[in-house]
Amino acid sequence: MAEQPVIKLHDGNTMPQIGLGVWQVSIDDARKAAVKALEVGYRSIDTAAIYKNEEGIGQALQETDVARDDIFITTKLWNDDQLNAEKALETSLKKLQLASVDLYLMHWPCPAKDHYVEAWQAMIALQKQGLAQSIGVCNFQEAHLKRLIDETGVIPVVNQIELHPMFQQRALHAWNALHHIQTESWSPLAQGGKGVFDQEVIKNLAKKYHKTPAQIVIRWHLDSGLVVIPKSVTPSRIEENFAVFDFRLEKPEISEIATLDHGKRLGPHPEQFN
Ligand SMILES: NC(=O)c1ccc[n+]([C@@H]2O[C@H](COP(=O)([O-])OP(=O)(O)OC[C@H]3O[C@@H](n4cnc5c(N)ncnc54)[C@H](OP(=O)(O)O)[C@@H]3O)[C@@H](O)[C@H]2O)c1
C-alpha cells in the first residue's frame, strides 16, 4: 500500500491529508477510536474543546506506541472562549496531556459577536509562545477571512469547512487555495453517507475499484486536494476509511461526482451561527 499523503501548510509545517474525526463521541470511545486509528496508521486526530473528549485523546496518546512527534493533533477554540483563548488552550492542553497542539483552529467566526479578530490576535500570540505549532480557522467565509488577513496580516493555514459531494463549496475552496489556505473537509461522508452512498455514480465507482462508497468519497476528497477527517468509532470502518491509498479517481470521475453538488448544508450557516 502506498504511503499516506501529507500536505505542506503555508507556515512550513506539514499535516497528514487524512485524519480521524471524533465529534459526538464520548471520552472513552474517543480513546478507543484514537488508539485503533493510530494502530491502523492514521497520524492525525481532530478534536475540539466543545466535543468534550480531549481527555480521551490525551489517554490514547499515553497508550499508543506511536511517538508524539509522529502524531498531528488538532483542537479548537470554542465560541464562548473567543475572548479567553489563552486560558482555553491551556485547558485543552491539560486534557490532551500535551505541551502544544499541532493545529489550533477557531471553531466558528460568530460574526454577530464580532470577536473573531481579537480571538485571532490571541491565537497568533499563542503560536508565537509555541503552544500551537500552526493556527487556522473553521467555518470562515471569504469576507471573514479577508477581514482577518487585512487586520492582522496573518493568514490561517487551514479553513475547515463543511464539504462533501452534496455540498462541495467550490468557490470557497478556490478562494482558500488562491490564498494558500488549505481546505479541510468536515462531515466528509455527509454524516454517514446521507444521500451520497446510494448515488449511482458512487455505487458504480465502488464496483469499478472494488471499494466501498465511503472509500470512494474519501478518495474523492484526497484527489480534490482536500484534507479529510472521517469520523468513526467502529473499528472495521476506521480500517476501511484508511484503506484508500491503492487507487485514484480519474479526472472524468471527479467531474461526475461534481454533479452531485446540491448546495445544501447539513450543518448551520456560518453567517448565522453565533
Ligand atoms: N469544525 C467544525 O465545525 C466541524 C463540524 C462538524 C464536524 N467536524 C469534524 O469533522 C469530523 C467528521 O465529520 P462528522 O463526524 O460530522 O461526519 P462524517 O465523518 O461525515 O460521518 C460520520 C458518520 O459516518 C459513519 N461512518 C464512518 N465511516 C463509515 C463507513 N466506512 N461506512 C458507513 N458509515 C460510516 C459514522 O458511524 P460510526 O462512527 O458509527 O462508525 C458516523 O455516523 C468530525 O468528527 C469532527 O472532527 C468539524
CA of 154 to the centre of ligand 1 (A): 30
**AA letter at 19:** G
The predicted structure's pLDDT at residue 126 = 98
Average pLDDT, the chain: 97
The CA distances from residue 34 to 3, 63, 99, 238, 265, in Å, are 20, 10, 19, 9, 27
Any residues with CB less than 8 A from the CB of 156 and at least 6 apart, and which?
A: 120, 135, 136, 137, 140, 145, 148, 181
Count of positions (residues) in the chain: 274
**Residue 74 near ligand 1, beta carbon < 6 Å:** no
Which residues does residue 136 pair with via DSSP β-bridges, in sequence order?
A: 105
Q: Using CA atoms, how far apart are residues 138 and 39, in angstroms rounded to an integer? A: 28
Q: What is the mean pLDDT of residues 170-178?
A: 98
Q: Which three cell numbers stand for residue 216?
A: 470512494
Q: Which three cell numbers stand for residue 189?
A: 461522508
Q: What is the mean pLDDT of residues 158-174?
A: 98
Q: Using CA atoms, how far apart are residues 127 and 135, in angstroms rounded to an integer? A: 7
Nearest by Cα to 129 from 101, 91, 151: 101
Percent of residues, the chain, with pLDDT higher than 90: 97
CATH 1.10.230.10 holds for 6-258: no
pLDDT at 1 > cutoff 70: no
Q: What is the mean pLDDT of residues 104-118?
A: 98
**Sheet arrangement for strand 72-77:** 20-21, 44-46, 72-77, 101-106, 132-138, 158-162, 182-186, 227-228
Nearest by Cα to 223 from 242, 245, 201: 245
Q: Give the pLDDT band (50/70/90) at residue 96.
A: very high
The predicted structure's pLDDT at residue 274 = 86
Q: Give the pLDDT band (50/70/90) at residue 82.
A: very high
Nearest by Cα to 104 from 177, 221, 11, 33: 11
pTM of the model: 0.98
Q: Known catalytic residue: 51?
A: yes
Q: For 182-215, how does the pLDDT look when each residue is reduced to its tens digit (9 = 90+)? A: 999 999 999 998 899 999 999 999 999 999 999 9
Give the atom of ligand 1 at the shortest distance from the alpha carbon of 164. 20
Q: Using CA atoms, how far apart are residues 10 and 252, in angstroms rounded to an integer? A: 29
**Residue 241 near ligand 1, beta carbon < 6 Å:** yes
**Residue 273 near ligand 1, beta carbon < 6 Å:** no
Q: For 131-165, how does the pLDDT look when each residue is reduced to its tens digit (9 = 90+)? A: 999 999 999 999 999 999 999 999 999 999 999 99
pLDDT at 105 > cutoff 60: yes
**Residue 183 near ligand 1, beta carbon < 6 Å:** no
The predicted structure's pLDDT at residue 87 = 98
Q: What is the mean pLDDT of residues 11-16?
A: 98
Q: Which three cell numbers stand for residue 259?
A: 454533479
Give the atom of ligand 1 at the shortest distance from the alpha carbon of 22. 45
